[in-house]
Structure 1
Amino acid sequence: MSHAMGHVPDRERDRAVELVQQAYADGRLGPAELEQRLELALTAASSHELEPVVADLPDEVVRIAATGGRITRTGDWHVPRRLRIESEYGRVRLDLSQAHIPYTRIDIELWLAYGGATITLPPGASANADGVRIGWGKMTCKAAGRQYPGKLHVQITGELPYGRLTIRTARR
């Protein structure tokens, strides 16, 4: 009988662990339940066994939408694990450098018809925007593409048919 961990894809296990830790951070689970679920997540031999660990935990997408006008988030704001931003004409400015981010990885979806976006990362963070489709616009990414252990990694997807996307890292 082998306890091979090979049956569950790493990213599924990682996601389960992340959701459990998040639920604990949000006050949805107590310390004992956190420990129990983490144990289950780490020892699950199949995706099937992993399922009940996170079945009741939300992995919700927080949506911010605007037609015109700016969407700005700056200073000390709570960044959700998954953020979806929809804007028709406005500019989007997300400054994560002083934000409260309880994860090592977040997903940001940008759906901007004509607007552009600027995303400022905290020092040491990395970003991957390969999943963004740019039409006539232009993308500039001055951040590291590879995640450093324990540092924030931002996965950016979506579409900017006409807008520009700028990703930069805050100066220390």
Structure 2
Amino acid sequence: MSSAGREPEGPPLLVSDADRDMAVQRLREAYAEGRVSHEEMDERLHRILTARTHHDLVPALASLPEEHAGTPSTIAAARGRIRRRGAWRVPRVLRVESAFGGVHLDLSHAVIEHPVVDIELHLGTGGAKITVPRDAIVEIEELRTVWKQPRHRTRRHPRPGGPRIRISGTMEYGRLKIRHARR
């Protein structure tokens, strides 16, 4: 029997606050572009705000354009360290390029305005250390490493509402260490 069209096995994936915020943003952008009427926006907004699972969000987002990622901001250095810490503003898409030298991004006190942040690492020689907020969800599946595997312990009980940090790109000779802030 074919598995096409069947529901995935296991419990349904519940909608997080970040997922709901992204859905509302997509709907808001579609309304501003004139793709949905005022009445349709009200109806879809109600569906988004009352959705319990990702499956419940599908009708509310049907036929809407995908979220705009925006223009990536780039931090680059040929040699030396790249360091960001304190109350710096994290862009929606951050590209980090370094041929030789280490990278340290501390997002624990940073201003994160987006529910999802994409960080693209393009590193030659040198490691990277990323400190994320305590309630952040980190995804590293799209990161390719040549020499050493990334070090990251997934939080056992992540708190809802934190940003989703997606790390991708390529690291040749160095290791990525990710840690969650303690406070």
Do they superpose with TM above 0.5? yes
Greater gyration radius: 2
- The answer as to whether partners of 2:69 and 2:93 remain within 8 angstroms in 1 is no
Partner of residue 89, structure 2: 78
| Correspondence for 2:182 | 171
Q: Hey, what does 2:144 align to over in structure 1?
A: 133
Contact conserved, 1:19 with 1:59, CA < 8 A, in 2?
A: no
- Give the aligned partner of residue 88 of structure 1: 99
- Within a 5 Å distance, the mapping from 1:22-101 to structure 2 comes to 42=45, 48=63, 50-51=64-65, 59-101=70-112
Q: Would you say the 8 A contact 1:137–1:164 is kept in 2?
A: yes
Give the distance between the partners of 1:75 and 1:95, measured in 2 at CA.
Answer: 7
Quick one: which of 117, 123, 126 aligns to 2:134? 123
How many residues were matched structurally? 146
Deviation of 1:61 after TM superposition, in Å, equals: 1.0
Return the alpha-carbon distance in structure 2 between the equivalents of residues 148 and 116 of structure 1: 28
- Structure 1 residues 107 and 147, CA gap change in structure 2 (3 angstroms): farther
Divergent runs of 4+, >3 A: 13-21, 36-48, 145-148
Deviation of the 1:109 alpha carbon: 0.6
The CA distance in 2 between the partners of 1:158 and 1:127, in whole Å, is: 14
Identity %: 40
- Per the TM alignment, residue 39 of structure 1 is displaced from its structure 2 partner at its CA by 5.0
Name 1:107's counterpart in structure 2.
118
Distance 1:170 1:17, change over 3 A: same
Match of 2:162 in 1: 151
Unpaired runs of 5+ residues, structure 1, are 1-9, 24-28, 30-35
Whole-angstrom distance in 2 between the partners of 1:93 and 1:127: 16
TM-score after normalising by structure 1: 0.69
Root-mean-square deviation (CA, aligned residues, Å) is: 3.3
